[in-house]
Amino acid sequence: MADTAAESGEGLDILGHVVDHHELHLGPLHIPLPHLELFGIDMSITGHLLMMWIASLFLIITLAISTKRRGLVPSGFANAIEALAVFIRDDVAVPNLGEKDAPKYMPFLMTVFFFILSCNLLGLIPFGQTPTGNINVTATLAVISFVMMLSGGIKHNGLFGFFRGLIPGGLPVALLPLMIPLELLGLLTKPFALCIRLFANMLAGHVVILSLISLIFIFKELVFVVAPVAIGFALAMYMLEIFVGFLQAYVFTLLTALFIGLSIHQEH
């Protein structure tokens, strides 16, 4: 994860490792990515976009292989996939959406979970990058979840019924001018929370790991003392980041299911 060019006594270029690039960094080799423009809009391929394509291709191939041979008792990788699918169904979808509505949203929730998980873990492999450490990616995922939340609520309750359900029943008329803006603001904070939570957690872990490795170059005169400690803590953080990758995929999926469920089953 470190560039040898950064060994200048000032540590690593941490921001240079976590921000998006128009180049693919493979150690000392920097491969430029295509620059595209459509109707004046920059449609260039970046490192994070390439990682999302890799994550999507990986999911298509691995999930297709794992479900190719269907049997009563899955084994190996198929068993792990089924265990995760059953977990999402029984512990995320059904408790928040109900037995009736959970099957309708399971494909979406499964897609969200496995895509975010793949993007989270891609940043932990050599020369990989973490797309979910890019706020543009997490904002797009949050907007998609927000659209699913609104469409589910409007489809189930009707347009007028959905927005009426945002206001608590029995509220005095005098409080409506205050409560309506607050409830609308609360509605908009849900995708904001999804976006910032995933972005901040995935970015923070990589910054901490890079900061620990940077200590080796900052204190290069004491490299034999600092290096074992820095590498030990970095490895511990690396293992923690694997757990965080799974955890944040679960949390994003759980909150998405929760918000959709609240939109569908409103309390009047």
pLDDT at 79: 80
Helix/strand/coil percentages in the chain, nearest 5: 75, 5, 20
- The model carries a pTM of 0.86
> What is the rounded CA–CA span in Å between residue 17 and residue 126?
12
Tally of domains within the chain: 1
> What is the rounded CA–CA span in Å between residue 180 and residue 163?
9
Beta strands in the chain (DSSP E): 23-26, 29-32, 37-38, 41-42
pLDDT digits over 133-174, tens only?
A: 999 999 999 999 999 999 988 988 888 888 877 777 677 777
pLDDT digits over 177-217, tens only?
A: 788 888 888 888 999 999 999 999 999 888 888 888 888 88
Question: What is the full DSSP assignment across 159-172?
Answer: HHHHHHTTSPTT--
pLDDT at 2: 39
pLDDT at 219: 84
Domain interval for residue 79 = 4-264
> What is the rounded CA–CA span in Å between residue 211 and residue 48?
21
69 pLDDT above the threshold of 80: no
Burial 77-97 (b: 16+ CB within 10 A, else e): ebeebeebbeebeeebbbebb
> What is the rounded CA–CA span in Å between residue 207 and residue 143?
26
Most confident of 14-18, 68-72, 88-92, 121-125: 88-92
**Contact of 238 with 172, CB cutoff 8 Å:** no
Three-state DSSP class for 178?
helix
1 pLDDT above the threshold of 60: no
pLDDT at 178: 80
The pair of structure tokens assigned to 30 is 């920097």
7 pLDDT above the threshold of 70: no
221 pLDDT above the threshold of 50: yes
